[in-house]
Structure 1
């Protein structure tokens, strides 16, 4: 059994479109879980008052492990990540084969040779519900805001990963640091680079095409599109992107995924930028008779 865990902040979004985009992104995850028979938990409170921002996910994941002892895997997915292949199944056999307990999108060469803080991305990860994972989350969290050495950990991370852009310790670089320092973790952590376990939206969004009139695929859909730097709730998007490109990109991703769901009911969005309009699908129509 898999439990997907996601969440957002407890307060309303400052960006006028933010709450709408978060709702659509949550619906996207619920649709995927419904199709594949997964449970889903959406959290919007700080379970540990000192674990804020990107660190807030770790107390939630650990709480989900304790609340769902029947679950073999807990699957964390950031609120600004959109599942864009609704049919793809997680390759659990790949992670079970050699007993891996954590799967995260990343590249060993970038960790061990280039020492880059972008060598993996912690916005999406799959973690086995076991004691090893709980102990590992504790070690990971101890580099975060609950640590009395939080400032020191930031300095250590920047000393090792020279391309790190900001001084404070963050969850992603902390995870990379743990892997970099202890190569024995490669027996338990699978760095996934064989499919889009988490793909960068700037590269992916231009590849979408509207499947309204075509049910045959000649390429593999990206599994998850992550809108890194867009900040849909606060609106404080990375200035290298135009605000419009962020929101339009999210709409395209959401409607691209929604079409895969709606098509089973006989409808599609003909325009990926128009969420309101649907037309009859050319295939899989549920009722050929009169309404």
Structure 2
């Protein structure tokens, strides 16, 4: 028995396969085009919404200064000077300004210092197109208002020079250290440390999904109610040391860049004339007075500005 063998030109259907394939491809082209446009739109919206994209409105400030006021502890005269100092600096550089009272945030019975975390998150929602947010404690004065954040601190070239690599998170001998090779372009969180550890009295954080994740972790109810001796400061040290996802985005920079302390003999990071900021860390101790220390530097700053 013999079977007929189809020739090379044999067609099992009245249409050539290549012809059918071309027709199907033509039908799918509109679908591919729509899917491609949707993908481009999705990426653009993500960039726009995060404050990093080219679609950011021209009037959106690149930097936002955040301060939380405690009206239960300090006089209105004192807080008025704090506000004046922040407004003067923000206006000079076209920065956004976000000042709120600590009572606006529900931190339950936790120390008032915790309010800095939801306040920073709140500022990001208000200034949704801004990139960097600088939290500065109320017990601080901007002494050198000519300093620009985006050129002297956050610019990758500048930050790369400031970054302290392979140093203990909690000095002097913490086994967890900053990474050696993280590029400055990948940094989302910038702060300083003193001889006791990390100090969140002055820090910079970049808008985006990572920042929201980090602030949520920092504000976790378990950490807030744990009873750390130094409240939000030790909670921060805990999560930085135990979460590589957070540590890899962290840059420690020299204290005098954004967080100098009042001049104290033998203490590294003490304020000298020309420093950007003086922060009266620990001034709420019984033997000290935040308002008196503030006034002393406020007067010296006024004399310097008149020169």
TM tier relative to shorter chain: 0.5 to 0.7
**Structure with the larger helix share:** 2
Specify which of 31, 34, 39 is matched with residue 91 of structure 2. 34
Unaligned runs of 5+ in 1: 111-117, 158-165, 209-218, 231-236, 264-280, 282-291
Larger radius of gyration: 2
Alignment correspondent of 1:225: 278
Counterpart-to-counterpart distance in 2, 1:223 and 1:179: 26
- Structure 2 residue aligned with 1:249: 293
Q: Report matched runs for 1:107-146 at 5 Å.
A: 118-142=196-220, 146=221
1:248 offset after TM fit, Å? 3.6
Checking the alignment, whether the CA contact within 8 Å between 1:200 and 1:227 is kept in structure 2 is yes
- Residue 241 of structure 2 is matched in structure 1 by 180
Q: Aligned residue for 2:25?
A: none
Q: CA RMSD in A?
A: 2.7
Per-residue CA deviations over 1:140-171 (Å, capped at 9, x if unaligned) read: 000xxx33x655x33xx5xxxxxxxx3xx611
Name the structure 2 match of 1:98. Answer: 185
Which of 62, 85, 97 is matched with 2:121 structurally? Answer: 62
Aligned pairs for 1:149-164 (under 5 A) are 150-151=224-225, 153-154=226-227
Alpha-carbon distance, 1:25 to partner: 1.8
For 1:199-244, what per-residue CA distance to the aligned partner results, in whole angstroms no more than 9, with x for missing partners? 222439xx88xxxxxxxxxx761211111232xxxxxx31343x4x
Q: Can you give the 5+ residue segments of structure 2 that lack an aligned partner in the other structure?
A: 1-61, 161-183
Does structure 1 residue 44 correspond to structure 2 residue 44? Answer: no
Q: Which residue of 2 aligns with 1:113?
A: none
Q: Distance in 2 between matches of 1:35 and 1:136?
A: 30
- Equivalents in 2 of 1:61, 1:92: separation in Å? 17
Where relative contact order (Cα < 8 A, 6+ residues apart) is larger, the structure is: 1
> Measured at CA, do residues 70 and 259 of structure 1 come closer, stay the same or move farther in structure 2, by a change above 3 Å?
farther
More displaced, 83-92 or 73-82?
Answer: 83-92
Question: TM (normalized to structure 1)?
Answer: 0.64
CA contact (8 A) 2:189 2:203 kept: yes
